Structure 1
């Protein structure tokens, strides 16, 4: 049976079953038991169509129907693949996945654009969000911590556009990042010591460079007895710590009321007795509040900034502080950042698909309205191997750190990995 006919058959039987089954009840039943419950209605549906399937095809149909009824439809099999780091949908027929840093077309498709939107609604409703013509864009997270962004018509001209970013696939320890060639062992040790010494760290990088993954890994070096407050637009951080309070922003309701911003949550977090604050990403006027928090007893805090390099990240922070309406001269602003931010770690996704820390820089103060950055480690590419991978090495030395005395006073509670 051709793929299109098979998809139409599955969708037709799926519509029949929707009228007979209690989906809310199904979600609480183990998958193997659901297969037994589907036997009778599936036999009736096949008989009504005068169809007989061989056992292998019948088993495939049952699995795909279960994915439609209780899971994410055609995406379910992809989501079960641990090698997949990104999923991109450009309309119902074009689904792409990234495996090991390489994007490739997936061997799955949706029946039509309405099918994509139906699965989208199932995903975002579980996160308390919605997507429809009145609100055709959504940013949410899945139960496993993955992030989803979607845009549907009329804003998306050729069908629904979906991006799913999966964080769990990259690992959650320094040793795993070393295996992935994201950083060297010496860099891992230095970063652990930075966190233990309660230095304020800004992680920078472009879209999909691994900023949030690195932030999660850095947080593993925070002592368990410290209280950590996380603030995010869409919760992605998953800190394996006993004393973590997670806060997430809220979009306005249909009447345009009830919005809660990162700046609102950051101000409230200061009243929650935090030892450290982790702001998922600084995007706007909350930058000034973050700087003030770092400079008033919450040292050891961390955040991320979307930027092309460390110097550009400092410029972006300056621009975002100006957006907040604070009346500071360029010299005053540089001085504020220079004595608040201690370390800037830049991550970059290279052409070979590997995400590497391209530089670790320390802030050494400010001069004439400029924030001074001193690189401690950096990645230097030397060529391309036969398999298309970059060759190169991490250069620099932890002995160059200007925070040696501070780090020596506070030894790490644990080692990387």
Structure 2
């Protein structure tokens, strides 16, 4: 990754990153140096048993000490000193206790999706523009952040289970991740859920739906008609389905089944159900098909299945044929 050794963030120095390495020279931190500091800090945290979430101040002190030690070694000629050690500390804190290089993107309300491919991070803005992250990162740090997100859920990600989907960030986003040996490198997508509550009226105001179409769909919901929503990724299927659910009569019992929950329409009468992967010993799996079967036995007025991609299609088709 030698070609990517630019300043890892906004650090200023009178020397270029490839200037002389004289004693005490102050240069923007390279990815190699930053990764060295990050790994050293993580090893110290593991060794001391500190919890980055429960003990953030203690972790910050440890990170400050790690950077200070590096600076002292650099001043003795064992490397090049950092131009802005405080900025280095802040990024390390964000990496260890937060969401690292993804944190800034996750704080932005206009970012809809984040794509991670190895050491590359791109994101999709609300207007549809695809941008590249300006901050150079390493695949190791990206994987650490993704692993932390997964660790906060009931899902697991390792060589024996290299594909995972989970609700993350307190249910505000869906994470889909694939790691080796299934993929060549870390491959992940974080999809942010729309914060605005959708309705047929809101889709009309956005120009996504005509008044005539909305009237027809509202009548279909009142009649408990079967509706199939299909389209390519990013077409707005989840938003449209949310609007349809919001248009259903409030006295209808709605049971919604999803592999990873994305729908958040308030239900007066009904519930949401989420599939569960098997545990480490291979037991305890609850598939989407299992959920569809059990909700059929509960005699709902309406069953909503978030995504039909597997065996659940059989149960859903059988239910539709039976009325």
1:44 aligns with 2:72: no
Aligned to 1:23: 52
Which has the bigger relative contact order, CA under 8 A and spacing at least 6? 1
Matched residues, number:
284
For normalisation by structure 1, the TM-score amounts to 0.60
Which residue number in structure 1 is paired with residue 194 of structure 2? 168
Secondary structure at the aligned position of 2:228 is classed as strand
CA–CA distance in 2 between the matches of 1:80 and 1:255?
37
Q: Which residue, 291, 313, 330 being the options, matches 2:317?
A: 291
Aligned pairs for 1:251-330 (under 5 A) are 251-294=277-320, 296=322
Give the gaps of 5 or more residues in structure 1: 27-33, 298-417
- Mapping of 1:53-92 within 5 angstroms? 58=86, 60-61=87-88, 63-92=90-119
* 1:244 and 2:270 matched: yes
Q: What secondary structure does 2:300 align onto?
A: coil
* Partner SS state of residue 269, structure 1: helix
Equivalent pair of 2:117/2:186 in contact (CA under 8 Å): yes
The answer on whether the counterparts of 2:41 and 2:62 sit within 8 Å (CA) in structure 1 is: no
Provide closer, same or farther for how the CA distance between residues 110 and 130 of structure 1 changes in structure 2, counting only shifts above 3 A. Answer: farther
1:198 equivalent in alignment to 2:232: no
Is the 8 Å Cα contact of residues 37 and 66 (structure 2) preserved in structure 1?
no
Tell me which of 203, 211, 216 is aligned to 2:242: 216
Secondary structure class of the residue paired with 1:201: coil
Task: Evaluate the alpha carbon distance shift between residue 154 and residue 284 of structure 1 in structure 2; reply closer, same or farther with a 3 A threshold.
Answer: closer
- In the superposition, relative to structure 1, how do residues 213 and 70 fare at CA in structure 2: closer, same or farther (>3 Å)? farther
| 1:175 CA drift (Å) | 4.3
Q: CA deviation at 1:97?
A: 0.6
1:278: how far off?
A: 0.7
CA distance in 1, matches of 2:121, 2:268: 39
Q: Which residue is 1:5 aligned to? A: 30
Alignment deviations for residues 50-69 of structure 1 (CA, whole Å, 9 cap, x no partner): 37989x973x5555344323
Contact map agreement 2:221 2:249 (CA 8 A) in 1: no
Structure 1 residue 239, shift from structure 2 partner? 1.7
Contact (CA 8 Å) 2:153, 2:166: kept in 1 or not?
yes
1:126 match:
152
* CA distance in structure 2 between the partners assigned to 1:171 and 1:109 by the alignment: 35
Summarize the Cα distance change of 1:211–1:37 in structure 2 as closer, same or farther, 3 Å threshold.
Answer: same
Q: Cα distance, 1:170 vs. partner? A: 6.9
Distance 1:284 1:87 in 2: 26
Residue 146 of structure 1 contacts residue 168 of structure 1 at CA under 8 Å; is this kept in 2?
no
Match of 2:210 in 1: 184
SS of residue matched to 1:231:
strand
Please, what TM-score do these two structures have when normalized by structure 2? 0.75
How much is the aligned-residue C-alpha RMSD, in angstroms? Answer: 3.0
Change (3 A) 1:273 1:163: same
Compared CA separation, residues 122 and 190, structure 1 to 2 (3 A) = same
Take 1:197 and 1:62, find their aligned partners in 2: how far apart are those partners? 60
Could you tell me how far apart the structure 1 residues matched to 2:212 and 2:291 are? 36
C-alpha separation between the residues in 2 aligned to 1:13 and 1:220? 51
Q: How far off its partner does 1:161 sit?
A: 0.8
Is the 1:225–1:243 contact (alpha carbons within 8 Å) kept by the matching residues of 2?
yes
Structure holding more strand per residue: 1
